[in-house]
Amino acid sequence: MAMHSMLSYDNPLFGKFAFYSGVVIGKTLLMSALTVRQRLTYKIFANPEDVEGLGGKEPTVSDQRVERVRRCHQNDIENVLPFVLVGSFYIVTDPDPWWATLLFRVFALSRCLHTVCYMVPIPQPSRFMSCLTGWGITAFMAVAVIRAGRP
């Protein structure tokens, strides 16, 4: 398959990658909205101008109701962005479609489970294992990309 069509919906594997990337990016965006919701609900703001304009008490970054959601969102940013970037390069290595689809699905599932474990909260090592699973998939794809592109 020509490289230009590998990164298009003409390539069924790209379509699957785009779908699962959309799922985890959408979940990351949802975490941002949930952080804002927590801040507005409890009137907990980090910046003085937000406190003044939105009616909080005093600036703080230590409220656990806000920080738990914010940390989960931060973890998404740290893991979803590398997955999407590396996965884009991984598609161009022309991987086995069954295997690649499994990697994309398990990554998306691991990120959703990570959020559930964080928000409920479910005792460790559940959150750690779900995060490690997604990280391992991204690392595996990164190695495949490096190997395919080495000079």
* Whole-prediction pTM: 0.92
What CATH number does residue 143 fall under?
A: 1.20.120.550
Rounded Cα distance between 11 and 147, Å, is: 22
**For residue 2, what pLDDT is reported?**
58
Q: Give 31's contacts (C-beta < 8 A, 6+ positions apart).
A: 69, 72, 73, 76, 115
Number of domains in the chain: 1
- Asked if the structure places residue 3 within a domain, the reply is no
Query: What would the pLDDT profile of 55-81 be if each residue is shown by its tens digit?
Result: 888 999 999 999 999 999 999 999 999
Which range, of 4-8, 54-58, 60-64, 81-85, averages the lowest pLDDT?
4-8
Residue 14 above 80 pLDDT?
Answer: yes
Mean pLDDT of 88-103: 97
- Asked if the structure places residue 8 within a domain, the reply is no
65 neighbors 38 (Cβ within 8 angstroms)? yes
- Asked if the structure places residue 126 within a domain, the reply is yes
